[in-house]
Structure 1
């Protein structure tokens, strides 16, 4: 009965019940080559560098997710705390006599800046750690299984939520794991449905983001090379002129 329900259930609503068609992303309309790597070997490759000493695409996306979470958390916490610092300063110093307007503005700016820094640190590392753990666990499970599924998000959300509340006791850990798993199930179901509708895979998205990183680095290197050529062009011409006039010398001939 369960198998019949699963077979008849549309994958659009529940994409974790059925695997993706192996022909969906093949431009030549041929099945993708099946790899013989085991799940453990794929996970090991994820943490290994390639011949150019570059990290894997999966690990690169985990790092980017961690940095993005830290940045968003720092901005959110900084703006929140700076606003509280501004309001508290106004409330506490309504009857304070300042020597000048500049002194009042300077102290207000100092309080707001310190509040922003405290909020950025307080929220930045927490959200970055939470995002990094969730992304890492999700990616590792998906790499081990060979394809993303709703189970990856539920397990990652439950583990991350449980670890986040582990210092508050067993009850808080269970609540955090339950809440994390439920929220991750909603988010994972939404993501998988979007992938199903768009016809792309998570590997293709990771590959596209990695290509954007390589393109950005290539443009950066080209700008540096162009700048170096323009900056040292006169020096290079002067060096070539001296070498032409005096000739090349070996190191042994230089006293």
Structure 2
């Protein structure tokens, strides 16, 4: 890439472009420093890799890959529910206007009440329908890709292809063998594009899926520590107030 820029921009020092984060090998983000024992340990593959990812650690902590899987699956469910609710609400609203254009209501409040009732019911139906579909597809895709990456011990395009093939085939299995094969082929194609996209994105940015998973796990741990700290402060405050009340009552009883 430096050679390409030197051809088109021969008079511009290449270091001037390092601010965009593409032409420097030094990352501008915090890196996780591991101990010598972790550095000497070879990446686990096969069944050991699956156990490392999907089973709790020695102290009950979850792996970075499994934490990312939970967060992304939950996010896909909420995004699917939001998309389905808005989509179904818009369709119901337009249908109500078209079908009841010439309908005479007792008053405008009655029309608004019926419209609100139908739109609310449609939002709930759409949220459940699309939240289930998108959430289930994303969960199957993410679980499969995470399992394949854990089995191989490295990240690449292959796990996205297998994950797309698995998710697409399972979603079309109700259409028979032809539907299963068609869904698998389409899923493999979409998975390959997704894998190439992320692989190229990580190559350009100089990061990796592992670093992103570690960062997300660290953010989750910091959030849990913050919530735990707030809870402890609240309990200590409540304990202090109750203790002062008890001491005050004891002093009153001793005075009498």
Confirm or deny a common fold (TM above 0.5). yes
Q: More deviation in 148-157 or 236-245?
A: 236-245
1:117 paired residue number: 124
Distance, in Å, in 2 between the alignment partners of 1:160 and 1:220 is 36
Which consecutive unaligned segments of at least 5 residues does structure 2 have? Answer: 1-26
What is the CA-CA distance between 1:230 and the residue it aligns to?
A: 3.6
Q: What's the secondary structure of 1:169's corresponding residue?
A: helix
1:142 paired residue number: 149
1:250 paired residue number: none
Distance, in Å, in 1 between the alignment partners of 2:59 and 2:43 is 24
- CA separation of 1:26/1:39 partners in 2, compared to 1, >3 Å: closer, same or farther? same
Q: What's the secondary structure of 1:196's corresponding residue?
A: helix
- CA separation of 1:147/1:93 partners in 2, compared to 1, >3 Å: closer, same or farther? same
What is the CA-CA distance between 1:204 and the residue it aligns to?
A: 1.2
- CA separation of 1:123/1:26 partners in 2, compared to 1, >3 Å: closer, same or farther? closer
Match of 2:223 among 216, 220, 224: 216
Which consecutive unaligned segments of at least 5 residues does structure 1 have? Answer: 1-23, 248-255
1:48 corresponds to 2:55: yes
What is the CA-CA distance between 1:27 and the residue it aligns to?
A: 6.9
Match of 2:176 among 169, 176, 183: 169
What is the CA-CA distance between 1:208 and the residue it aligns to?
A: 0.4
Distance, in Å, in 2 between the alignment partners of 1:237 and 1:70 is 47
Distance, in Å, in 2 between the alignment partners of 1:209 and 1:169 is 39
Query: Is contact 2:43–2:153 with CA below 8 Å preserved after alignment?
Result: no
2:210 paired residue number: 203
TM-score, L = length of structure 2: 0.78
- Per-residue CA deviations over 1:116-169 (Å, capped at 9, x if unaligned) read 111111110110010011001101111111111111111111111011100111
1:86 paired residue number: 93
Aligned length, in residue pairs:
223
1:58 corresponds to 2:58: no
1:35 paired residue number: 42
TM-score, L = length of structure 1: 0.79
